[in-house]
Amino acid sequence: MAFDKTDRWVILRLRNDGEVAWLEYADSRGRQRRPHGELRGDDPDWPQRVLSRPLLDTLEMRPGIRVPADLDQLLDEAIATLPERYGPHANGPVPLPIFFAPLPTAVGLWVRPPWEEHMLNELWPGFDGNRVEAVRLARQRWTQRPRFRLPLRLLAIGPLADAVLANLRDKDWYQSSAETQQFGLQFKTVPVEEVVAALRATPYDVVVCEDSSAAEVWYAAGRLPQPALSRPRLVIQLSKPYFFPERSSLPAGLSLLRLPVPAIDQIAQFIKDFVYGIIHDYPLHEALKAAKRDAVQKHISDPRLPYEARLIADPASNNNLRLSEALAGLQEETFTISQTAARGDLPVFFSRMGADAPPQMRIQLINAFAPHEAVKKSLDETNSLKFSFLREDQGLVPLANAEAAKAQAKASADSIKAALGDFFNNPDYVEAMRKYQERRVDVALEALNEMSVYLPVVPDYTLKQGERYRLRVHIGQRADGSLVVGDVPPLDPLLPETEARGYNLEVAVFEKDLPCLGRACSRSTCRCSAARRRSTLICALRAAGRLSCASAFITRTTCCNRSC
């Protein structure tokens, strides 16, 4: 079963009105438990549980806490829906991230971790620490960052941060691949006085710092231009063992991993294992859990290190460093390049144009597409690579190689676009192109496999209940993986005359048995220029229900230009 990053998390909020304390519940499936009105007297929907004296003293609470009557069932069901994790680095089951909202009292800022696990153990009879990773909720509202793209950039601040990254930087699979160093994983170290300049110059994904330089990191992270694009996605803060205050809030879209430092070699090994989890496409909470397991199972660190490590994030930022997202972005960009640089059958095109294709126009088009073979060769190399996130040399390394090949293809495609720019500056050529080009609507469906990679499906492919799929609608030439059968009439003759440089085409997807995921999915607009070669729309679907046959309809594209 494919890991669905959007569906599996729980948020617990501890409330206290001075007389009664209670625990509120919410999860990714939309289930919520909040009291209606004041909790006074006996309430079968909110029974009282008694906490141990050490936990009460830590949290400064009364002996009893009200919890939802079905709390055990809700948590057990959330655990039961988790997928399995396979591979040489899978050292345990996929953990459920349980986000704990900040405590309602000032003492919560100084509570020694991990009080969350102690509370779960006392309130949940089925609690298994190996199946859960407690995360402190960074913020009440979270936003989606733009899709993560390679390279994964790590910034070390100061000599200690540089030293703890050496274990990762010196690996053979990294040192032996120039493509991985350029397109996969990049390291840089700066002194604390250069933090602000470094973060403004390059959008680093992960920053490793000490307590002494943390203030500069937070200052810079909160004041970067275009923060959604330039702000770090994760800060790893090395703190004095083993007691540190919790930050009450973080900049939007940023997660924080607090780690004590018992010894340099131990923390270096722990961070290496944690980054390996990211390379294996784990969300942050699972990468942390995997590193904790390795530390305990291999006896490689002070036992307090995995015990005290604490992640502060939200359900969105928890997934901000997924390599599967980088792969999906690479696939989409590769497809766009392939359509942009698609030469088509120029002799047939010229034959269709007849006398409207003067010799100079023919020569200019042929010369413009001269780099086409170089583009095709690079893209074929990218598409032929096999990816598996189970190992770094089967995931990150080939992904970096694919990025390198894509960069070459993009350079050749850009030269085609530049040459075509001169072509489109001639109004007579543009009019001829609009008159004779035969762009067609094409549709493909891609399935999310067990490695979180989208692959095209064939027409007789059997959909699986509950699985995610990606619908691709594009205008141009028929692409690999097309589900369209037979000859499709060209779109251009159907478009009305316009003085604009193109059309906004509205594509409506009627979900029926395949619900759309995302607000912009079921009805979206794609831009189709008057004489350019392609336009693409992608949205996510889910196969739902117990059905022998599932269907979804896509309406014919509708021109929604004001000038139409």
Q: Across all residues in the chain, what is the average pLDDT? A: 81
The domain 152-278 is placed in CATH, from the list 1.20.5, 1.10.287, 3.40.50, 1.10.357, at 3.40.50
Is 3 in contact with 290 (CB distance < 8 Å)?
no
523 confidence band (pLDDT: 50, 70, 90): low
> Across residues 492-520, what is the average pLDDT?
70
Express each pLDDT in 259-280 by its tens digit. 988 888 899 999 999 999 999 9
What pLDDT shows up at residue 560?
A: 44
More confidently predicted of 526 and 387: 387
The pLDDT of residue 7: 66
Q: Are 89 and 390 in contact (CB under 8 A)?
A: yes
Q: Which residue type sits at 404?
A: A
- Separation between Cα atoms, residue 209 and residue 379, nearest integer Å: 39
403 class by beta-carbon count within 10 Å (0-12 exposed, 13-18 middle, 19+ buried): buried
Q: How far apart, in Å, are the Cα atoms of 290 and each of 149, 273, 319? A: 23, 8, 16
The token duo for 563 is 């000038």
Total residues belonging to the chain: 564
Name the DSSP class of 248.
S
Asked if the model's pLDDT at residue 114 lies above 80, the reply is no
Angle between helices 264-279 and 284-297 (to 10 degrees): 130
Find out whether 356 and 175 touch, Cβ atoms under 8 Å: no
Q: Which of 326-330, 352-356, 541-545 has the highest mean pLDDT?
A: 326-330
Which of the four pLDDT bands, split at 50, 70 and 90, describes residue 546? very low
Q: Find the Cα–Cα–Cα–Cα dihedral 387, 391, 393, 399, rounded to 10°.
A: 40
Mean pLDDT within 224-241: 88
Higher-scoring residue by pLDDT: 44, 524? 44
Among the listed ranges 28-42, 274-288, 529-543, which one has the minimum average pLDDT value? 529-543
Domain residue extents for the chain = 10-137, 152-278, 322-436, 438-564
Query: Three-class SS of residue 298?
Result: coil
Residue type, 243: F
Could you read off the pLDDT of 375-421 as tens digits, one per residue? 877 777 777 767 778 777 778 898 999 899 889 888 888 888 888 87
Question: pLDDT tier at 61 (50, 70, 90 boundaries)?
Answer: low
Tell whether the model's pLDDT for residue 426 goes beyond 60. yes
Residue 342: CB atoms within 10 A of its CB come to 19
Q: Are 138 and 317 in contact (CB under 8 A)?
A: yes
Q: Residues 98, 102, 103, 108: is their CA dihedral positive or negative?
A: positive
Q: In this predicted structure, which of 19-33, 69-83, 215-229, 437-451 has the lowest mean pLDDT?
A: 437-451
* Burial environment of residue 239 by CB neighbours within 10 A (0 to 12, 13 to 18, 19 or more): middle
Least confident interval from 264-273, 434-443, 481-490, 517-526:
517-526
